[in-house]
């Protein structure tokens, strides 16, 4: 039994990467939410990721959405004025995003009250 041929058939799955317009982090499309400017000039969240039109991507993070809306990143990215109606739709969506828990700080808890009384005694 001549066992030649190493398993070279499988190629790495290519995941398309997109950049969040707010934090500029690059993530796979699945991790980001797509906002689309429809051909008739509306701006809405494209939950399926399949709507046609110019798209912008954002993390599913409250801070990114707030930043994107506040700094008009979406408008800039999509080159469109977001109408009050569409803005209300986006705001309604943003309101569904969970409040962010601050990232666990890996830095040492430098609180004055910490009981680190480990005086080295031998």
Q: What binding mask, one character per residue, do residues 93-112 give for Zn ion by CB under 5 A, x or -?
A: --------------------
Contacts of 30 (CB under 8 A, 6+ apart): 15
Out of 35, 43, 44, 64, the only residue in the binding site for Zn ion (CB under 5 A) is 64
Q: Smaller CB distance to Zn ion: residue 60 or 83?
A: 60
Q: Are 24 and 49 in contact (CB under 8 A)?
A: no
Residue 56 is a binding residue for Zn ion (CB under 5 A):
no
What whole-number distance in Å separates Cα of residue 4 and Cα of residue 39?
Answer: 54
Q: Which of 33, 56, 59, 69 binds Zn ion (CB under 5 A)?
A: 59
- DSSP-assigned beta bridge partners for residue 36: 44, 55
Q: Which of 37, 87, 96, 28 is nearest to 62 (CA)?
A: 96
Tell me whether residue 45 or residue 64 sits nearer to Zn ion (CB atom). Answer: 64
Query: Distance (Å, rounded) from C-alpha 21 to C-alpha 37?
Result: 14
Q: Which of 20, 33, 35, 74 binds Zn ion (CB under 5 A)?
A: 20
22 part of the interface to Zn ion, by CB under 5 A: yes
Binding site for Zn ion (CB under 5 A): 20, 22-23, 59, 64
């Amino acid at each position: 039994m001549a066992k030649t041929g190493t398993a070279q058939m499988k190629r790495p799955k290519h995941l398309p990467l997109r950049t969040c317009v707010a934090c500029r982090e690059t993530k796979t499309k699945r991790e980001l939410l797509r906002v689309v400017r429809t051909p008739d000039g509306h701006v809405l969240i494209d939950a399926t990721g399949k709507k046609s039109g110019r798209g912008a991507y954002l993390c599913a993070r409250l801070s990114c959405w707030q930043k994107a809306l506040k700094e008009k990143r979406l408008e800039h990215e999509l080159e469109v004025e977001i109408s009050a109606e569409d803005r209300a739709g986006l705001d309604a969506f943003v309101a569904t995003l969970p409040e962010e828990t601050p990232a666990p700080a890996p830095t040492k808890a430098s609180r004055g009250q910490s009981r680190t009384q480990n005086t080295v005694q031998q």
